[in-house]
Amino acid sequence: MVSPIYILILSLAAGFLLSIIDRGGRKISLAVFYGVLAFNTALIIDWTYRFVFLHAPTLVINTAGFSAPVSINLELGMIQAFVLVFTNLTGLLAAVFLFRKFMESKVSSLILYLLLVMSVNGLVMTRDLFNMFVFLEILSISTYALTTITRTKTSLSAGFKYMMAGSVASIFFLMGVVFVYHFTGNLNLDFIHADQFAGTGLVALFMLTMAVFIELKPFPANGWALDVYQSVDSGIVSVIAVINSAAIGFVFYRLIPLMPQSFLTVFGAAGVITFFFSNMMGLKQKNAKRLLGYSSIGHMGLLMASIVFTIGAPSTVRYLIIGGFFVNHLVAKAGLFWLSGIVRQENIRGWAVLKNNRLLLVLFGVFIFALSGFPPFAGFWAKWEFVKVLIESRMFFVLGAVLTGSLFELIFLFRWLTITVKEDETQLEKITTPDSGSVFATSVFALLATVVAAGVMKYFYNFGWVQTLPAAAALIVYLLDFLPSKLKGFVSLGAVAAYGYYIYPLLESNLQLFFGVIFIVGSAINIISTLNRKNQNRGFYGFLLMMIFSFGNLLIASTYLEFFLSWEFMTISSFLLILRGQKAQRASLLYMIFSTAGAYLLMTGFSFAPALTSTSALMLSIEFVKLPLISVIVLAIGFMIKAGSVGVHIWLPEAHAEAEADVSSFISAILLKAGVLGLLMVAISCIAHAPSFPVFYWIGWIGVITALVGAFMASFQEDAKRLLAYSSMSQVGYVVAALAMITHLGWVSALYLAFNHMMFKSALFIAIAGVYYRTHTRKMYEMGGLISRMPWSYMTVLISIIAVSGVPPLSGFGAKWLIYTAFITKGWYLQAGVLFFASAVSFLYLYRLIHAIFLGQLKSEHQEIKEAPAWFIIPQYIFLAGIMVLSMFPNLMIRPLNSIAMHYFNSSISIEGLTVVSDLGYWNGNFVMHITMAIFAVPFVVLLLLRGKTQRVKQFNIVYAAERPESPETTHVAYNMYAHYRKALGGWASPRIENFWNGVAEWSHTLGDFFRRVYTGNGQTYILHIIMYIVAIYVVMGVK
Amino acid sequence: MISISMLSLILGIALLITGIFAMLTRKNLIRIVIGFSIADTGTHIIIVSLGYLRGRTAPIIDRAVNAADAVQKVVDPIPSALVLTAIVIGLAVTAVMLSFVVEMYRKNRSLSIDDYQELKW
Amino acid sequence: MIKYLAVIVSVVGLGMIFLPIVTGFHEAEQLSPLAAQYVEGSINDLETQNVVTSVIVTYRGLDTLGEVTVLFLATVGVGLLLKGTQEDRLLMPFSELLETTSSVLVAMIMVLGIYIFSHGHLTPGGGFQGGVVIASGFLLLLLASSGTKINHLVLNLVESVSGAAYVGIGAAGLVLAVGFLSPEILPLGDFGRLLSAGAIPVIYSLIGLKVGSELTSILVTMGGE
């Protein structure tokens, strides 16, 4: 048990002697240097272990043989140890990162660095205000000097601006300390109390706290910091952004008990404002390090806000929030700054070079996800708890600003990530083999982020292994990614089966089982089509398994948090899968932005919800929860984003179209159902606890309009996958509308349609995947006549579109019959009419699909084309078989659905043998099937007999009126097929919703650009900002 | 009548504000550093003025002050101790600032702060 | 124009912040309890005449160690910044009179400096003041004699060793006495004697040497050697 004062002693002694030691050779001085840093870290880790596991009491160290307040004392408790563990570790690893620099530069840089880390330890431990000032100055001076360790064109002037700002802050700090002594007669924090600052004393406290706050870089008095982040050496910047900020943030944290409420409110608000604006300003930023600077400043603001606004929360929650934000920022920011040192590209577009180095790319991804607050990383938990605290204390403005700011941050971070993954890197200079030290340090931090995440999940929330399974699966497959794709595919299939076997007994109700079949069985069949992939196919099956497992986890989640965790895992994995598409940069970004906005709404909605009393799955226990109106609205919107409802659907066509062909089927057939599931859960809660406003009436309308808009949009597409995407949107619109009725028949039909949609949309997407695999085009007018070359695929599409369109005899008919019956019994006649119209429109696009691709003339380049590979055909026919069976025996599905709905409502249908009877009539699928088959059989036989008289239409039977046109395919009937309908729609066909969202995007970028003009680059102006900021805050706080 | 400590307090504050005014308005880097130095000196004067007690002497126990009633005879030793530290720190900061200026001048041959704003937004 | 307005607003605002302190200021009648404790402790516990010294070296010894460190960092930082790139400059030959007088004067200045820091616990002054005086002697040498070369190794050695010795004495307090930087590792001696007040004069002398060498080395670096 070594006293932590030895950190100071050893560092100082080594620091003083290093220049002498260095005369014996740099190797020796480096050994001493790293030895001391490692000693400090080890010592603090030891103490943290004592505090956490052995419950050691807080350690107080007196100096000079006197106790406080006569002498200066140091304090090391759990919190200090926590801060110091991370700062020392960062200090050590940043030094490892800088190894080459330390090898080459003067010994001075070693001394400065060592004493910088020492001063942070002193600053965190000391209880004496003036001693804080001294350590703060040690910290500042060593940092100022270290900013010049790598001289660039701009680093000197940035360092000078930093000094100007820092010296003004330190003058105020000094004044504050001295006036505090004047008013209280003490300098030791243990002996100073908030009530000693009545009247004029508040001015003293103001100066003290304000000086610390200025060092934390509040907007807009922080231009100097941005310049430093942009221009100073990456290793040193990581120290400034992380270690300095942490130490000063901790000083602020410790001054909190002295501050009156007026101070706290203003500082908290200033923190939130900083977070909001710096993220908004980051939107326009192209320079990677400056972007990280904006993000760092924002995160310090968030940290301050969380320190202030969680004062009323239970202490464990409070520590989780503050600690979570702190660790998250520290690890991710240091990691990203180090990466910027390795990549050496100023513009974010240049980061595409990371593609050449898989490890670095993965590290980059980990840090971006961590920084954006995705699970399992610490920021996720902190944000979740913070939102809860904010809602409990009814701080809605803060909530809004925090979530909007987070969304801005997400946008620029993911724009960066997607550009890095998708931008062409061939023009760029490759990364010169990076230092092993740099890569090591960065990797350790990614690992640290993961370890912290695991710790939080295990020790704070007591999650079981299933909750972490999605992330674990991704990790394991990443490690095994060198295996050939087919092997991984079969193993994944096995894993999904095993997972299904595991969760089957956990599914207590038919409802869960129903979605279990969609999620797990549907996914398993879809996996077959991926077996066609060749080579190693890296980074696919991990994310796929992650997505499938998180679907399943949604069903067994028993708390809001577990549900939301799985939801976010699902978002991450589906995003990464979409990102794999060749031109998916914009599509995946759009998906991410909308998904995250939805996730924030869910987070808000769940936080408003009352606590759960049951331990069964959330899907079931939600029945007994009375969701407040706001919660219902917010949750419904959040889930409808995932379900692609009109207004928030614009991610949907992009994502479906640009994802890889075999991924689209997962997204459309299965992922959209997760949104349906969520909406259903909200509806379940609303059965017994109808909200005061008819939310679901309007959701019903949204569903209906979605169905109509989707159908129209689908008709106007040239791109087959886009067409199917809009078709999915339209179909899910039906499901949403049917759900929204909250009646027995409504739900039976909604679930029936959902299941059908899963089958026929899987079949269609896989069929189109097969066609794309052979033709390499998605444009329908570039195809045609493929019936002769790809008859199996043709059959799939034919059967599926019959099922979609809802004509007899296939299962779609039953679905439509049920829906209209439900609407009419509910009395929603107008809605039923619109839906009926939408159904008519859907004939247009379905016809277009089959006509343009399979009928008509075969293109000359497709003469020799082959049928799609078997791996595509097999799953299609499994789904087709399902459709046929359900068409023949619809009661196989109706019966369980009836029982599911009967749990919530009185049954409105009866099932007699093969017939379903409702108030309005009956439907016997089996009978319909036989009749229709007979009707079809007659002309088929006739045609067969007349076969000899058919005449083949040849390529040159087509005659052009004039010359051969430039691009003949545009004269094809399949090109712009429904132009006349489009014309008839007039202004209604213009993409209003897309224009609206584009406008939102443009406005936020313009605003961000407007505000960042305050950073003129002139150091003097920055000082002016600081002084004016101090004066303004003084006035706002009303200190007298 | 205005006391001597009050007078020096006002003087200190005046110096402090003057120094900051100089930092805000002077274009020359060296003058900005001088501005900081003036402001810093202002703080030192403020510190000393806060420790002063009328009619008392320096806190050194020699012939002028009897050990027995020293508490009644001397001024507050704490600000004196603090100001010493503050002066040294101020000196250190000034030294580093000046070397920045020297290097900036060497690199860019300009002492005007307006010539150092290539980083912005 | 707007900028000037903003400057005036902020300066007036600053004045406004300080105003309540001035208007509400009244001189203390008594020492604060803490200050009184220092005065009594200095006499009774530390046998130190100069109360300020006992505050600086013992009671707030950690501050002083930090202060020495700040100065040290400034030296190191200035050294890192000014990489010794020498400028051409016009050197006027110095007059013989100046050189001779200054060398005599320097010796006296050094003695004065040593006196000041070694008697810091008895009389006004101490390590910092003494150190500055010593450095001013070197400054005189640098300015007044053309051929002055200050030995870097010696300067460096004094600087490092005195610093390390200071830390070492402080650490010895942990082992031999009651805490870090405790002066009681040496006998406290009789009040008012040169060899009294425990380790205080030793520490102050080390500080004097360190400050002197540090300031000198800043001067040397800044002067471009």
Identify the domain containing residue B39 by its residue range: 4-56+70-111
Cβ–Cβ under 8 Å, residues A584 and A476: no
What residues 251-310 of chain A have any CB closer than 8 A to a CB of chain C? none
pLDDT tens-digit series, residues A246-255: 999 999 999 9
Domain count, chain B: 1
In a shared domain, residues A610 and A715: yes
Q: Quick one: average pLDDT of C204-211?
A: 89
pLDDT tens-digit series, residues B56-103: 878 887 777 777 777 788 888 899 889 999 999 999 999 999 999 998
Identify the domain containing residue C215 by its residue range: 48-222
Report the pLDDT value the prediction gives residue A949, as an integer from 0 to 100: 66
CB contact under 8 A, A170 and B16: no
Residue among A183, A211, A407 nearest A1030 (CA): A211
Q: Which residues of B touch A (CB under 8 A)?
A: 16, 20, 23-25, 27, 29, 32, 36, 39-40, 43, 46-47, 50, 78-79, 82, 85-86, 89, 92-93, 96-97, 100-101, 103-104, 107, 113-114, 116-121
Q: Is residue C149 assigned to a domain?
A: yes
Q: Is residue C11 assigned to a domain?
A: no
Q: What is the pTM of this model?
A: 0.94
pLDDT tens-digit series, residues A730-789: 999 999 999 999 999 999 999 999 999 999 999 999 999 999 999 999 998 888 888 889
- Tell which wins on pLDDT, A964 or A616: A616
Does A1011 contact chain B (CB < 8 Å)? no
Domain count, chain C: 1
Across-strand partners of A61? A74
pLDDT tens-digit series, residues A95-153: 999 999 999 888 999 999 999 999 999 999 999 999 999 999 999 999 999 998 888 87
Report the pLDDT value the prediction gives residue A394, as an integer from 0 to 100: 92
Report the pLDDT value the prediction gives residue C152, as an integer from 0 to 100: 80
In a shared domain, residues A403 and A481: no
In a shared domain, residues A456 and A502: no
Cβ–Cβ under 8 Å, residues C42 and B81: no
Cβ–Cβ under 8 Å, residues A58 and A48: no
Residue type, A311: I
Angle at A837 (CA atoms; ends A833, A840), nearest 5 degrees = 145
In a shared domain, residues A901 and A757: yes
Q: CB within 8 A of A771, min separation 6: which ones?
A: A720, A783, A786, A790, A793, A853, A868
Q: Using a pLDDT cut of 90, give the percent of chain C over it.
A: 14
Q: Is pLDDT above 80 for C146?
A: no
Cβ–Cβ under 8 Å, residues A351 and A420: yes
Q: Is residue B65 assigned to a domain?
A: no
Report the pLDDT value the prediction gives residue A960, as an integer from 0 to 100: 52
Report the pLDDT value the prediction gives residue C86, as an integer from 0 to 100: 56
Report the pLDDT value the prediction gives residue A907, as an integer from 0 to 100: 85
**H or E stretch at A912:** strand A910-912
Helix (H/G/I), strand (E/B), else coil: B67: coil
In a shared domain, residues A472 and A569: yes
Report the pLDDT value the prediction gives residue A948, as an integer from 0 to 100: 64
Q: Is residue B119 assigned to a domain?
A: no
Report the pLDDT value the prediction gives residue C84, as an integer from 0 to 100: 58
Cβ–Cβ under 8 Å, residues A1030 and A172: yes
Q: Is pLDDT above 60 for A307?
A: yes
Residue among A522, A851, A535, A831 nearest A698 (CA): A831
Report the pLDDT value the prediction gives residue A759, as an integer from 0 to 100: 93
End residue of a domain, out of A939, A970, A986: A939
Domain count, chain A: 2
Rounded to whole angstroms, how far apart are CA atoms A121 and A80?
9
Residues in B touching A144 (Cβ below 8 Å): 96, 100
Residue type, A957: N
CB-based contacts of A31-39 (< 8 A; 24+ apart in sequence) = A33/A95, A33/A102, A33/A110, A33/A113, A33/A114, A34/A92, A34/A95, A34/A96, A36/A10, A36/A11, A36/A114, A37/A88, A37/A91, A37/A92, A37/A95, A37/A114, A37/A117, A38/A92, A39/A7, A39/A10
**pLDDT confidence bin for A864, thresholds 50/70/90:** confident
Q: Quick one: average pLDDT of C173-202?
A: 77
Chain A residue closest in CA terms to C13: A1031
Across-strand partners of A59? A76
Q: Quick one: average pLDDT of A420-444?
A: 85
CB contact under 8 A, A1020 and B113: yes
Report the pLDDT value the prediction gives residue C102, as an integer from 0 to 100: 84
Cβ–Cβ under 8 Å, residues C94 and C144: yes
Q: Is pLDDT above 90 for A214?
A: yes
**pLDDT confidence bin for C32, thresholds 50/70/90:** confident
Q: CB within 8 A of A199, min separation 6: which ones?
A: A1040, C20, C24
**Region label for B57, one of left (φ > 0), alpha (ψ between -120 and 50) or beta (otherwise):** beta
In a shared domain, residues A425 and A526: no
**pLDDT confidence bin for A955, thresholds 50/70/90:** low
Q: Using a pLDDT cut of 90, give the percent of chain A over it.
A: 68
Q: Is residue A655 assigned to a domain?
A: yes
Does A137 contact chain C (CB < 8 Å)? yes
pLDDT tens-digit series, residues A497-511: 999 999 999 998 999
Q: Quick one: average pLDDT of A626-635?
A: 94
Residue with tokens 């040159």: A956
**H or E stretch at A923:** strand A921-924
CB contact under 8 A, A130 and B32: no
Residues in chain A: 1040
**pLDDT confidence bin for A968, thresholds 50/70/90:** low
In a shared domain, residues A406 and A304: yes
Q: Is residue B19 assigned to a domain?
A: yes
In a shared domain, residues A661 and A556: yes
From the list B78, B79, B93, which residue is nearest A141 (CB)? B93
Q: CB within 8 A of A614, min separation 6: which ones?
A: A620, A621, A624
- Tell which wins on pLDDT, A636 or C56: A636
User: Does a cis peptide bond (omega within 30 degrees of 0) precede residue A791?
Assistant: no
In a shared domain, residues A532 and A584: yes
Q: Is pLDDT above 70 for A950?
A: no
Q: Is pLDDT above 80 for A993?
A: yes
Q: Where does chain C have alpha helices with state H?
A: 2-23, 33-44, 51-54, 61-81, 96-118, 127-144, 152-176, 200-222
CB contact under 8 A, C38 and B78: yes
Q: Is residue C92 assigned to a domain?
A: yes
Helix (H/G/I), strand (E/B), else coil: A61: strand
Does A114 contact chain C (CB < 8 Å)? no
Q: Quick one: average pLDDT of A179-198?
A: 88
Q: What is the CATH number of the domain that holds B43?
A: 1.10.287.3510
Does A72 contact chain C (CB < 8 Å)? yes
pLDDT tens-digit series, residues B17-40: 999 999 999 999 999 999 999 999
Mean pLDDT, chain A, integer: 90
In a shared domain, residues A455 and A538: no
Q: In the numeric block, which tokens belong to residue A996?
A: 């609206």
Q: Is pLDDT above 90 for C74?
A: yes
Q: Is pLDDT above 70 for A381?
A: yes
In a shared domain, residues A398 and A470: no
Q: Quick one: average pLDDT of C172-190?
A: 78
Rounded to whole angstroms, how far apart are CA atoms A837 and A842?
9
Q: Is residue B36 assigned to a domain?
A: yes
Report the pLDDT value the prediction gives residue A966, as an integer from 0 to 100: 64
Chain B residue closest in CA terms to C126: B84
Residue among C75, B104, B30 nearest A159 (CA): B104
Report the pLDDT value the prediction gives residue A1039, as an integer from 0 to 100: 76
Q: Is residue C31 assigned to a domain?
A: no
Q: Is residue B86 assigned to a domain?
A: yes
- Tell which wins on pLDDT, A323 or C33: A323
pLDDT tens-digit series, residues A790-814: 999 999 999 999 888 888 788 888 8
Report the pLDDT value the prediction gives residue A964, as an integer from 0 to 100: 58
Residue among A393, A164, A365 nearest A265 (CA): A393
Q: Is pLDDT above 90 for C124?
A: no
Q: Is pLDDT above 80 for A954?
A: no
Q: Is residue C8 assigned to a domain?
A: no
ipTM exceeding 0.90? yes
Q: Is residue C28 assigned to a domain?
A: no
- Tell which wins on pLDDT, A586 or C125: A586
Q: Is residue A116 assigned to a domain?
A: no
Strands (E) in A11-108, as ranges, are 59-62, 73-76
Residue type, A326: F
Identify the domain containing residue A442 by its residue range: 260-462
Cβ–Cβ under 8 Å, residues C189 and C46: no
Cβ–Cβ under 8 Å, residues A88 and A16: no
Residues in A touching B118 (Cβ below 8 Å): 153-154, 157, 1017
Residue with tokens 């569903």: A703
